Amino acid sequence: MSYIGIIVSFVFAGNIILSQLLVGKAFIDMTRNMKSAFSFGLVLSCVAALSCLATWILYRGILEPFGLGYLQTLTFILVITGLTLILEFFFEKLPAALRRRASSLLPLVSTNCAVLGLCLISVRSGYSALESLTAGAAAGVGYFLTLFLLSTMREAMKKEWIPRPFRGVPITLISAGLMALAFMAFDEALLKNLLG
DSSP 3-state assignment of 173?
Answer: helix
DSSP category for residue 164: G
196 residues of the chain, pLDDT tens digit each:
688 888 888 888 888 888 887 776 667 777 777 888 888 888 888 899 999 999 999 999 999 999 999 999 999 999 999 998 888 888 787 787 777 777 778 777 777 788 899 999 999 999 999 999 999 999 989 988 988 888 888 888 888 889 999 988 888 889 888 888 888 777 766 666 766 5
Per the structure, the count of domains in the chain is: 1
**Segments forming the whole domain that contains residue 69:** 3-195
Whole-structure pTM value = 0.84
Are the CB atoms for 148 and 38 separated by under 8 Å? Answer: yes
Centre a 10 Å sphere on the Cβ of residue 188 and count the other Cβ atoms it contains: 15
Q: How far apart (Å, rounded) are the C-alpha atoms in residues 148 and 17? A: 12
CA angle, 109 then 191 then 196, to 5°: 110
